[in-house]
Amino acid sequence: PSRIRLHHLQQAKDNGEKFAMLTAYDVMMAEIFDSAGIEMLLVGDSAANTVLGYESTLPITLDEMITFTKAVANGAKRAMVVADLPFGSYEQSPAQAVATAVRLMKEGHAHAVKMEGTAQYAEHVQAMVLAGVPVIGHIGFTPQSEHALGGYRVQGRGDAVQQMKEDALALQNAGAFCILMEMVPSPVAAEIDAALAVPTIGIGAGNSTTGQVLVWQDMLGLGGRRTPRFVKKYADLREVVGNAVREYHQDVVSGSFPSAEYEFKE
């Protein structure tokens, strides 16, 4: 299958079609998602939560992100692999953003990066794009700013709508090929999508965006943690895995595993 490229995503927007993105952090899930037809795999800094067990996305390092990105790139035959710029790795200057994005592409084999930030980061986007890095702008609720934003809450209500639209346009005009909106009222996301030429991706942003994204452990029910209201749970892997492992444990302590069929003969 040929690789999903920027123009395929732009075509989807232009033709009123949709595409799906899922997070991935390792090769095996990347292979499964890729084979299932998912167009974009996001090596999200949500790995801080879902893989490393931190309370927020802030502690994950660029080196850790590069390791996860390499693994996902090894499993993605068709999907576009997008890596997050982690907290602290891009804010200081456009040059810092370029250096970080280049490492994610050169060492991590990402095809594109995603950056959280408002119009104030337009220069960062421009510098990365100039360096040959495709960039997704992430607006609305941006988890790296959790403490500044006062916790996980819906963004872009009331007076904030116009500003959010300006942010989206500024990032697009700086060269972002896509805008991701997180936890934004659906009518606001629809309005921003309509104002933009580039495709949009939503999470908790309703059904008007070009694409959708979810964290895979949330949508497959692996996490024990409470999932946000915008997550649809497509499976209960926590139960599936828990039951299988309990059965294995039972078999081992009872002596029924390994039975003859799993033994080597002389």
> Which CB sits closer to ligand KIV, 45 or 191?
45
87 with 141: CB under 8 angstroms?
A: no
Catalytic residue of the set 107, 182, 191, 263 = 182
Alpha-helical (H) ranges within 36-159 are 47-50, 62-75, 94-106, 122-130, 146-149
Respond yes or no: is residue 182 known to be catalytic.
Answer: yes
Closest residue to ligand KIV, judged by C-beta, is 44
159 with 144: CB under 8 angstroms?
A: no
Counting other chains too, the contacts that 103-108 makes at CB distance below 8 Å and 24 or more residues apart are 103/62, 103/66, 104/62, 104/65, 104/66, 104/69, 105/133, 107/66, 107/70, 108/43, 108/65, 108/66, 108/67, 108/68, 108/69, 108/70, 108/73, 108/83
193 known member of a binding site: no
Q: Determine, following the binding rule CB under 6 A, whether residue 113 of this chain makes contact with ligand KIV.
A: no
Residue 182 interacts, among ligand KIV, Na ion, none and using kind-specific CB cut-offs from 5 to 8 Å, with ligand KIV
* Site for ligand KIV, residues 163 to 182, rule: CB under 6 A: 180, 182
**The one among 73, 101, 176, 215 contacting ligand KIV by CB under 6 A:** 215
Interaction site with Na ion (CB under 5 A)? 44-45, 84
* Site for ligand KIV, residues 35 to 94, rule: CB under 6 A: 42, 44-46, 84
187 with 1: CB under 8 angstroms?
A: no
Angstrom distance (rounded) from CA 27 to CA 12? 27
At closest approach, how far in Å is the CB of 42 from ligand KIV? 6
Quote the radius of gyration of the chain (alpha carbons, Å): 20
Q: Determine, following the binding rule CB under 6 A, whether residue 213 of this chain makes contact with ligand KIV.
A: yes
Residue 218 interacts, among Na ion, ligand KIV, none and using kind-specific CB cut-offs from 5 to 8 Å, with none
Contact positions toward ligand KIV, by CB under 6 A? 23, 42, 44-46, 84, 180, 182, 203, 213, 215
Annotated binding site for Mg(2+): 45, 84, 116
Which residues have a catalytic role annotated? 182
